[in-house]
Chains A and B, each alone.
Chain A
Amino acid sequence: DQQVKQNSPSLSVQEGRISILNCDYTNSMFDYFLWYKKYPAEGPTFLISISSIKDKNEDGRFTVFLNKSAKHLSLHIVPSQPGDSAVYFCAARRYGNKLVFGAGTILRVKS
Protein backbone atom coordinates (compact mmCIF):
# COMPACT_ATOMS: atom_id res chain seq x y z
CA ASP A 1 0.00 0.00 0.00
CA GLN A 2 1.84 3.04 -1.27
CA GLN A 3 0.56 5.92 0.85
CA VAL A 4 2.72 8.55 -0.84
CA LYS A 5 3.06 8.55 -4.62
CA GLN A 6 5.22 10.48 -6.99
CA ASN A 7 3.90 9.49 -10.38
CA SER A 8 6.54 11.22 -12.49
CA PRO A 9 9.86 9.33 -12.39
CA SER A 10 11.64 12.21 -14.10
CA LEU A 11 11.24 15.83 -15.19
CA SER A 12 13.37 17.92 -17.52
CA VAL A 13 13.25 21.73 -17.38
CA GLN A 14 15.14 24.57 -19.01
CA GLU A 15 17.26 26.78 -16.76
CA GLY A 16 15.30 29.83 -15.60
CA ARG A 17 11.89 28.20 -16.06
CA ILE A 18 9.62 26.80 -13.36
CA SER A 19 9.94 23.22 -12.13
CA ILE A 20 6.79 21.65 -10.70
CA LEU A 21 7.09 18.36 -8.84
CA ASN A 22 3.93 16.59 -7.77
CA CYS A 23 3.00 14.23 -4.98
CA ASP A 24 -0.24 12.46 -4.02
CA TYR A 25 -1.11 10.81 -0.73
CA THR A 26 -3.88 8.58 0.54
CA ASN A 27 -3.76 8.88 4.34
CA SER A 28 -5.70 11.87 5.68
CA MET A 29 -3.99 11.45 9.09
CA PHE A 30 -0.67 12.86 7.88
CA ASP A 31 0.12 16.09 9.77
CA TYR A 32 3.27 17.27 8.01
CA PHE A 33 4.53 17.04 4.45
CA LEU A 34 8.16 17.45 3.52
CA TRP A 35 10.36 17.64 0.44
CA TYR A 36 13.88 16.30 0.36
CA LYS A 37 16.55 16.72 -2.26
CA LYS A 38 19.16 14.06 -2.89
CA TYR A 39 22.38 14.12 -4.86
CA PRO A 40 24.14 10.86 -5.84
CA ALA A 41 26.19 9.27 -3.07
CA GLU A 42 24.81 11.69 -0.47
CA GLY A 43 22.03 11.51 2.07
CA PRO A 44 18.72 13.31 1.48
CA THR A 45 18.73 16.98 2.44
CA PHE A 46 15.65 18.61 3.91
CA LEU A 47 14.29 21.30 1.58
CA ILE A 48 10.93 22.60 2.77
CA SER A 49 7.87 21.40 4.65
CA ILE A 50 4.25 22.32 5.19
CA SER A 51 1.89 21.63 8.03
CA SER A 52 -1.46 20.06 7.20
CA ILE A 53 -3.20 23.19 8.56
CA LYS A 54 -1.64 25.38 5.85
CA ASP A 55 -1.98 25.45 2.09
CA LYS A 56 1.25 27.21 1.10
CA ASN A 57 4.76 27.65 2.38
CA GLU A 58 7.55 29.62 0.70
CA ASP A 59 11.30 29.62 1.17
CA GLY A 60 13.22 31.60 -1.40
CA ARG A 61 12.89 29.92 -4.79
CA PHE A 62 10.94 27.01 -3.31
CA THR A 63 7.20 26.98 -2.67
CA VAL A 64 5.13 24.03 -1.54
CA PHE A 65 1.36 23.94 -2.11
CA LEU A 66 -1.00 21.61 -0.28
CA ASN A 67 -4.49 20.73 -1.52
CA LYS A 68 -6.02 18.65 1.24
CA SER A 69 -9.29 17.97 -0.54
CA ALA A 70 -7.38 16.44 -3.45
CA LYS A 71 -4.71 14.89 -1.18
CA HIS A 72 -2.11 16.48 -3.41
CA LEU A 73 0.96 18.59 -2.87
CA SER A 74 3.41 20.17 -5.24
CA LEU A 75 6.83 21.77 -5.06
CA HIS A 76 7.52 24.76 -7.30
CA ILE A 77 11.08 25.87 -8.00
CA VAL A 78 11.38 29.28 -9.62
CA PRO A 79 13.69 30.01 -11.34
CA SER A 80 15.22 26.57 -11.86
CA GLN A 81 19.00 26.35 -11.81
CA PRO A 82 21.37 23.60 -13.00
CA GLY A 83 22.37 22.98 -9.38
CA ASP A 84 18.77 21.97 -8.68
CA SER A 85 19.30 18.79 -10.72
CA ALA A 86 18.80 15.98 -8.21
CA VAL A 87 16.27 13.42 -7.02
CA TYR A 88 13.37 14.98 -5.10
CA PHE A 89 11.49 12.93 -2.54
CA CYS A 90 8.11 13.82 -1.15
CA ALA A 91 7.50 12.56 2.40
CA ALA A 92 4.60 12.61 4.83
CA ARG A 93 4.59 12.35 8.61
CA ARG A 94 1.87 10.96 10.83
CA TYR A 95 1.90 12.65 14.26
CA GLY A 96 5.36 11.84 15.46
CA ASN A 97 8.39 10.08 14.21
CA LYS A 98 7.56 8.08 11.12
CA LEU A 99 8.11 9.45 7.63
CA VAL A 100 6.59 7.78 4.59
CA PHE A 101 8.44 8.55 1.36
CA GLY A 102 7.45 8.59 -2.25
CA ALA A 103 9.61 6.88 -4.86
CA GLY A 104 11.24 10.12 -5.97
CA THR A 105 11.38 12.27 -9.09
CA ILE A 106 14.62 12.93 -10.96
CA LEU A 107 14.81 16.59 -11.93
CA ARG A 108 17.17 17.65 -14.72
CA VAL A 109 17.66 21.35 -15.28
CA LYS A 110 19.24 22.05 -18.66
CA SER A 111 21.43 25.09 -19.18
Chain B
Amino acid sequence: NAGVTQTPKFQVLKTGQSMTLQCAQDMNHEYMSWYRQDPGMGLRLIHYSVGAGITDQGEVPNGYNVSRSTTEDFPLRLLSAAPSQTSVYFCASRSPQGADGGYTFGSGTRLTVV
Protein backbone atom coordinates (compact mmCIF):
# COMPACT_ATOMS: atom_id res chain seq x y z
CA ASN B 1 0.00 0.00 0.00
CA ALA B 2 1.93 3.04 -1.27
CA GLY B 3 -0.40 5.79 0.02
CA VAL B 4 0.14 9.09 -1.82
CA THR B 5 2.94 9.09 -4.40
CA GLN B 6 4.36 12.29 -5.83
CA THR B 7 6.76 12.58 -8.75
CA PRO B 8 9.25 14.02 -9.33
CA LYS B 9 10.84 14.66 -5.94
CA PHE B 10 12.99 17.51 -7.26
CA GLN B 11 12.69 19.73 -10.32
CA VAL B 12 14.44 22.81 -11.66
CA LEU B 13 12.62 24.84 -14.28
CA LYS B 14 13.47 27.92 -16.26
CA THR B 15 11.10 30.87 -16.15
CA GLY B 16 8.35 30.37 -18.69
CA GLN B 17 8.61 26.59 -18.89
CA SER B 18 5.62 24.41 -18.17
CA MET B 19 5.48 21.11 -16.35
CA THR B 20 3.16 18.70 -14.58
CA LEU B 21 3.59 17.49 -11.01
CA GLN B 22 2.15 14.03 -10.66
CA CYS B 23 0.13 12.74 -7.72
CA ALA B 24 -1.38 9.28 -7.36
CA GLN B 25 -3.09 7.57 -4.42
CA ASP B 26 -4.10 3.93 -4.03
CA MET B 27 -6.50 4.29 -1.10
CA ASN B 28 -9.61 5.01 -3.17
CA HIS B 29 -9.91 8.43 -1.52
CA GLU B 30 -12.41 10.78 -3.10
CA TYR B 31 -10.90 13.99 -1.78
CA MET B 32 -7.54 15.20 -3.09
CA SER B 33 -5.72 18.50 -2.68
CA TRP B 34 -2.57 20.32 -3.67
CA TYR B 35 -0.70 22.55 -1.22
CA ARG B 36 2.44 24.59 -1.42
CA GLN B 37 4.71 25.20 1.55
CA ASP B 38 6.75 28.37 1.80
CA PRO B 39 8.95 29.45 4.73
CA GLY B 40 6.98 31.12 7.53
CA MET B 41 3.65 30.60 5.77
CA GLY B 42 2.59 27.04 6.53
CA LEU B 43 0.82 25.15 3.77
CA ARG B 44 -1.52 26.97 1.42
CA LEU B 45 -4.21 25.28 -0.64
CA ILE B 46 -3.80 25.60 -4.42
CA HIS B 47 -6.59 23.41 -5.86
CA TYR B 48 -8.72 20.60 -4.58
CA SER B 49 -11.09 17.92 -5.83
CA VAL B 50 -13.99 16.09 -4.18
CA GLY B 51 -14.16 13.40 -6.84
CA ALA B 52 -13.40 12.48 -10.44
CA GLY B 53 -14.41 15.29 -12.76
CA ILE B 54 -14.83 17.83 -9.95
CA THR B 55 -12.19 20.42 -9.10
CA ASP B 56 -12.17 23.82 -7.45
CA GLN B 57 -9.79 26.59 -6.54
CA GLY B 58 -8.12 27.00 -3.22
CA GLU B 59 -6.36 29.96 -1.67
CA VAL B 60 -3.55 30.44 -4.23
CA PRO B 61 -4.71 29.02 -7.61
CA ASN B 62 -3.17 31.51 -10.04
CA GLY B 63 -0.63 29.99 -12.42
CA TYR B 64 -1.78 26.42 -11.78
CA ASN B 65 -4.19 24.08 -13.48
CA VAL B 66 -5.65 20.76 -12.35
CA SER B 67 -7.87 18.03 -13.69
CA ARG B 68 -9.25 14.84 -12.14
CA SER B 69 -10.10 12.22 -14.73
CA THR B 70 -9.73 9.27 -12.33
CA THR B 71 -10.11 8.75 -8.58
CA GLU B 72 -6.42 7.81 -8.29
CA ASP B 73 -4.68 10.69 -10.08
CA PHE B 74 -4.64 14.43 -9.51
CA PRO B 75 -1.92 16.14 -11.57
CA LEU B 76 -0.94 19.78 -11.05
CA ARG B 77 0.14 21.77 -14.10
CA LEU B 78 2.31 24.85 -14.03
CA LEU B 79 1.40 26.76 -17.15
CA SER B 80 4.33 29.20 -17.37
CA ALA B 81 6.70 28.85 -14.43
CA ALA B 82 7.71 31.96 -12.47
CA PRO B 83 10.32 32.36 -9.69
CA SER B 84 7.44 33.02 -7.25
CA GLN B 85 6.41 29.40 -7.78
CA THR B 86 9.60 28.14 -6.22
CA SER B 87 8.25 26.09 -3.35
CA VAL B 88 7.67 22.63 -1.96
CA TYR B 89 4.45 21.12 -3.27
CA PHE B 90 2.42 18.54 -1.38
CA CYS B 91 -0.45 16.42 -2.60
CA ALA B 92 -2.90 15.01 -0.06
CA SER B 93 -5.95 12.76 -0.04
CA ARG B 94 -8.63 11.59 2.35
CA SER B 95 -11.88 9.71 2.44
CA PRO B 96 -14.95 11.83 3.25
CA GLN B 97 -15.97 9.00 5.59
CA GLY B 98 -12.74 9.26 7.54
CA ALA B 99 -13.61 9.71 11.20
CA ASP B 100 -10.64 11.80 12.20
CA GLY B 101 -10.73 14.31 9.36
CA GLY B 102 -7.06 13.82 8.62
CA TYR B 103 -5.41 13.91 5.22
CA THR B 104 -2.64 11.61 4.03
CA PHE B 105 0.18 13.60 2.44
CA GLY B 106 2.75 12.66 -0.14
CA SER B 107 6.44 13.28 0.48
CA GLY B 108 6.49 16.41 -1.65
CA THR B 109 8.06 17.86 -4.80
CA ARG B 110 10.71 20.54 -4.33
CA LEU B 111 10.48 22.92 -7.28
CA THR B 112 12.98 25.64 -8.11
CA VAL B 113 12.25 28.15 -10.87
CA VAL B 114 15.28 30.09 -12.12
Contact = CB atoms under 8 A, between A and B. Distances in A.
Given A34-B102, A97-B31, A97-B33, A103 B58 contact: no
Contacts of A51: 101
Chain A at the B interface: mostly helix, strand, loop or mixed?
A: strand
B45 interface: yes
A34 B104 CA distance: 12
Contacts of B102: 34, 36, 46, 49
B75 interface: no
Contacts, number: 60
A43 B108 contact: yes
27 contacts: A4-B42, A6-B42, A32-B101, A34-B100, A36-B102, A42-B107, A42-B108, A43-B90, A44-B105, A45-B105, A46-B103, A48-B100, A49-B100, A49-B101, A89-B42, A89-B43, A97-B31, A97-B50, A98-B58, A99-B33, A99-B43, A99-B103, A100-B59, A101-B43, A103-B41, A103-B42, A104-B42
